[in-house]
Amino acid sequence: MPQFTELQASQNFLTSTAVISRLLDAAPIGKEDTVVEIGAGKGHITRALAQRCAKVLAWELDEALAARLVGNLPPNVRLFHGDFLAAPLPRGAYRVFANIPFCRTTAIVRRLTQCLNPPQSIHIVVEKGAALRFCGLPRESVSSLLLHPWFDVRIARSLRREDFHPAPRVDCALLELIKRPQPDLPRGLQGKWERFLRQDRLPLTPKQVRMALRSASLPPISPDGKMLYVQWLCLFRCWLSLTGGRK
């Protein structure tokens, strides 16, 4: 099955108890929590999670890896063999902690953050370049702006290449996304927010832009075109009030 070969090749395992413990210490996982793990791999993180939470829902796509885990996990772990991207998510409150396949980072983040019941927190090991992009560093991008209204995003921990087996060719980090208790936009506006961000140019006249930013006591757009998240949010609200979100 070529799909499994591709995904396994992109997986760099974390096996050190000390490294895994350091990463878990950065996540707000409690004894009553349900935690979803994407890519159980060899089970090192799975077993560590099981010691810290009430229930682990672990997904593993690779048939051989999943078979090795059957019967070798704590009783509070439920193992699923299949593609997480096609899997149903928990209906109640849950958190996510995972060392994910790097080749599926964007799809996994999108699945978790744009579903009907997003997790309370997401902690995933990703390539550092991807982590910076989701954080909006060195400047905001569509990837970061799609997250900001609903999640606080930061790099929680950096990792060394030698922390992995096999060692990846790139630097990696633990990306943290915490669901905002009071989002900046209703979840029902996700589609319009993304449509606004993906337009070739701002769908407002220069005068409308100046007036909207001035009325919100925000600085004008810098000459290099670099915009802050709060400026994007202000202009989206202006566009929404003028057009209702229509193109």
**Domain boundaries defined on the chain:** 2-179, 187-243
Contact between 105 and 122 under an 8 Å Cβ cutoff? The reply is no
Q: What is the pLDDT of residue 18?
A: 97
CA distance 166 to 169: 9
Write down the architecture of domain 2-179 according to CATH. 3-Layer(aba) Sandwich (3.40)
Q: What is the pLDDT of residue 5?
A: 38
**What backbone torsions phi and psi does residue 126 show, to the nearest 5 degrees?**
-140, 170
CA distance 67 to 85: 20
**What Cα–Cα distance (Å) separates residue 82 from each residue in 115, 155, 224?**
19, 29, 46
Residue 81 DSSP symbol: E
pTM of the model: 0.93
Tens digits of pLDDT across the chain (247 residues): 333 333 444 579 999 999 999 999 999 999 999 999 999 999 999 999 999 999 999 999 999 999 999 999 999 999 999 999 999 999 999 999 999 999 999 999 999 999 999 999 999 999 999 999 999 999 999 999 999 999 999 999 999 999 999 999 999 999 999 999 999 999 999 999 999 999 999 999 999 999 999 999 999 999 999 999 999 999 999 999 998 877 6
